[in-house]
Structure 1
Amino acid sequence: MEAVRSYRYHVEYLTQQYSMTEQKLWFASTIVGLVMCRIAYGITKLTSLLYFKGYAKLTKMEQIEWNNRGFSTIHAIVVSAASIYLLFISDLFYNNDQDEPIILRSSFLSNFILGVSVGYFLSDLAMIFWHYPSLGGKEYILHHGFSMTAIGVSLYSSEAQIYVYMILLSEITTPFVNARWYLDLAGLKRSKAYLINGIALFFGWLVARIILFIFYFAHVHLHYDEVTKVKPATFYCLFTVPSLLTFMNVYWFWRIARGCTKTLSKRQDD
């Protein structure tokens, strides 16, 4: 009996130590995300002053948004690359030899990237609130709030990370959104680069934010027996957050399609 009690205490101690290590990782990765955003903001400002003559002529608010979109682009590149690696290259979610269901799998890298992403959303939300509504209105607050909630729940529970990375992969469209804004502000709205970027944004959004979300819901349906194994908070996030983001994505896609149609019509008239 004493041996059983000793073993139980030993297991509880190891579990507690592991939990503390995970919490330190979450905190450290979130700090990394915050610092990354601050560094990217500064680098964007410095390089823009050195290499873009028009930057100094922008208003203070335009310069702030210019720099803000700089760290937004870097975050999008980082999480998109991580999502592609974890979903398609790593065996984390595709190694069938593992006994653990894919919805319950996580790794040091997957947890770290999610923490970095939380740091980004915190940084961007802070700037949006501070400069409200110049950097974005209620739709941006809702988008960031939903995204951060889903990521935070998945990070805390180490559940459903395969689905979180499916959603994060949609960030691959962000560099095109930012490039469109940069080109417009630079007075290049009628340039060939603006047209090519607009077409890339249209098809990128169609694939990453419409078709991918359809695949997401189909995958959840096919693996519903595994989905029921997660904690209640994770379960509800799997359905509510992607559903709300889908409505927003469809609305923005309609606006993108309308913008592309107008741009192409004007070019045909010319």
Structure 2
Amino acid sequence: MAEIAQVWSAADWRGSQVADDPGWRLPLSSAQQDEVLVALAVAQGADVPLDSVSREVFPLPTLGVELRRLADDVVHGRGFALVQGVPVDALTEEQCVLVAVGISAYIGDLVPQGPQRAPVVHVRDGGADAASSITRSYQHSGRLGFHADPTDVVALLCLRPARSGGLSAIVSSVAVHNALVAARPDLARLLYEPWWFDRRTGDGPDSFYQQPVYAIGTDGRLSTRYGPDYIRSAQRGAHVPALDADRVEAMEALDRLNHAPDFLLTMELRPGDLQLLNNRVILHSRTAYEDHPEPERRRHLLRLWLDM
């Protein structure tokens, strides 16, 4: 294996450095909100499947320019962005889904999710048992460890927040990598080796797979694939070897850095907030949350996976 070294990236940032930077936020003006609603009407008239919603079907002549700028920064820059003020309050759930897909058409290509190949996943507490072999992280209200989704970009549109909790937090996996290399290159080296992960599709061998946490692409850029919850649950696989002491130490060191206040950037997503994260260079998590008793007020986000 090549020497483990720190890497340069525009996505190497710390939360304390970027928290007050307005460059990653795009608050929509009233004119831009009206543009979204007009595009929604056009898309509804076109009556095409969600996976066929394109920029032509959902025309955003001025906002689209800003969204493409954000997309470039998500891919080649700091790796994340937040669109604020998407007009969801007066829309039906079906209309919100169409708006999320239409806006995301300016960011990347829609990727089907899960065994059902769903274009959009509804992130809400379904009362699922977090310890179950088929429960996914979006189906319960518990805390989530810092992780990356399996596509280039994940988009999350908030329709309703929880009564309390559910705070979104992100870290630059590049900054964390570089800090770990500087402090413990021996542990960083372990993270370049294959690790077992759990797809949580059941108890069969196909639910488990191997990949490194860190990898350097042919373009010289660092890519991170991490998820402590899914690494630990992979231990249920009969053929998966137990985590040895060195790997446990590597995960503990990585988790400490991911939760270090200097690295963290937190966001309290409000209705109409659309969070965009580059899974190659950003890890994200969520605190546990408590919901409203009324079903119509409970936390509800829409998740889209995008390839660039």
Shorter-chain TM-score: what band?
under 0.3
Q: Which has the greater radius of gyration?
A: 1
TM-score, normalisation: structure 1: 0.25
Greater RCO, CA 8 A, separation 6+:
2
* Larger strand fraction of residues: 2
* Larger helix fraction of residues: 1
